[in-house]
Amino acid sequence: MKTFYVRAVGALLAFGAACAFAQTPQPPEIAARQYILIDLTSHQVLAERDADAQADPASLTKLMTAYLVFNAIRDGKLSLEQTLPVSKRAWDERKGGASVMFIDPTMTPKVSELLRGVIVQSGNDASVALAEGVSGTVENFVAAMNRQAQAWGLKNTQFKNATGMTESGHHSSARDVATVAAKIIEEHPESYKLYSIRQYTYNHIKQDNRNLLLGRDPSVDGMKTGYTDTAGYCLVASSVRDMPNGKRRLLSVVMGTASREARASESQKLLNWGWQAWDAVRLVEPGKAVATVPVWKGATREVALGAGTAGGAVFVTVPKGEGERLQTRIERTDPLVAPLVQGQRAGTIKVATAGGTVVASVPLVVQQAVPLAGFFGRTWDAVRLWIK
């Protein structure tokens, strides 16, 4: 493995890892039991407290409920214009003061209407109707929720229902909730737009979205509130801004705050700090080669290598003023011998501080396939490699 150093204006960050800078910005005091702030552009955690502690997620549960419904629509199992029956079980969700959409068994709401009932109105009745529409029974749907959580490696999450009502064994964590929210944003961008709706009227009953930041911060375009006596007041908030190097999105989760106002103000405080104390820097342009290197025994003599990230772009979030002080280092396989397939790992891009501390690591991959050369080309390169 050979190493090549390159000066850069930015840096990369290994996904999900915290930055290791000498003077990392300290977050403000957040009045919440658990919280986490993530820059989704770089997939970097900027701040957290007890983010892996198991807690009652309340209606933040409905993020996973909605995610599975979005998947069902994508896969053709449901359509937005399809109507669904309202079972007695869904109707019974109106009892006990729970949030509801006010549907009843005489109605056949559309999937699009029920989604708004879940997302804007936080309706437990709508959640049950959709769960039954996707999986036949709530129990089957909850099993699918847990399978998805396991597939993502959410070690602190277990679902017992699709609504978020307090139940023994029903728990999640701030980090796990953030993962579900990020999956919706990244995999279902069109459906995510529903989370910015500030009011929804169904059956002549108008209800406001309980996410107060939608009306206070124009950069906030989602995402979900939750409350039970056990959970306290919870909020997932997502904020996006146009920056010189593209869009940047922050995602915050606060759990266990004292009031509806507190969950909004503490989330706002966390987001503001993320924007003010950190910069997102793009090191690699989308689809651009990081290096062009020789290939041995290949039909072509060279191949372009790029970052093994979605779209080939690479961002890092750094404390303000730190970007120009970092170095990138390319560690790549040498010799690189054909055949090569697109996306094949060919090394690593690393970023280090001026003092040499590695703070980031991203796969370096082959951008185009390279088939084997003919007999004489392979033979000649074999001789050259032997001499080398």
- Sequential DSSP letters for 295-332: -BSBSSSEEEEEE-SGGG-EEEEEETT-GGG-EEEEEE
What is the model's pLDDT at position 279? Answer: 86
Q: Give the H/E segment covering residue 362.
A: strand 358-366
What is the model's pLDDT at position 245? Answer: 75
What is the model's pLDDT at position 7? Answer: 34
What is the model's pLDDT at position 16? Answer: 36
What is the model's pLDDT at position 316? Answer: 80
pLDDT tens for each residue of 276-307: 999 887 777 777 888 888 887 878 888 888 87
**Stretches in the chain below the pLDDT threshold 50:** 4-20, 22
| Domains identified in the chain and CATH numbers | 2-15+284-387 (2.60.410.10), 34-257 (3.40.710.10)
**Catalytic (active-site) positions:** 59, 62, 122
pLDDT tens for each residue of 320-352: 877 777 777 888 878 888 888 998 898 888 877
**What distance in Å separates the CA atoms of residue 269 and residue 365, rounded to the nearest whole number?**
39
Residue 278 pairs in a beta bridge with 319
What is the model's pLDDT at position 3? Answer: 54
- 174 by Cβ neighbours in 10 Å (0-12 / 13-18 / 19+) ranks as buried
